[in-house]
Amino acid sequence: MYRRLLVAAACAAVVAAVAIPIAGADPGNAKNSALIRAVCGGRTVTVVVNGNGEFTPAHDVNSTAVFVPTAFNLTFTFTPAGGSPMAETDTSAKNGPIQNTVTCSIPLQTLFSGPQGTGTIQGTVTGFFTPR
């Protein structure tokens, strides 16, 4: 029993030592981050999305605000080098009434471009900024 407690404490210390520096890292420098320009309530914002979850929050690069998405109407298009475009539309939404949301328009923009091809995004995202 004492041995398990010691192992658990050691694991917690390692996780804390690794997680604390990561928490202060710039999300825009992460490997799979995407910088996206949006127009929300009449103002243009630039956000960085870092993660593969469907409702992953976006960090406003010009403030400490975070945009939490609640509904999507986005079209992602991948055009392979020398190939035809392949589009996929996401119209997901969270259940329940969510108050004080704003709908952001995402104009057509390139997410990535390389030897394999080009990826673009456009559409709308509804959600809210924190802090509220």
CA atoms within a 13 Å half-sphere pointing along the CA-CB vector of 4: 1
Using one digit for the tens of pLDDT, what is the confidence trace for 5-29? 333 333 333 333 333 333 444 455 5
Instruction: Confirm if 118 and 112 have CB atoms less than 8 A apart.
Output: yes
Provide the 10 A C-beta neighbour count for residue 25.
Answer: 10
How far is 56 from 17, CA to CA, in rounded Å?
24
Using one digit for the tens of pLDDT, what is the confidence trace for 73-94? 999 999 999 999 999 999 999 9
Residues in the chain: 132
Name the most confidently modeled range: 25-34, 53-62, 71-80.
Answer: 71-80
CA atoms within a 13 Å half-sphere pointing along the CA-CB vector of 51: 11
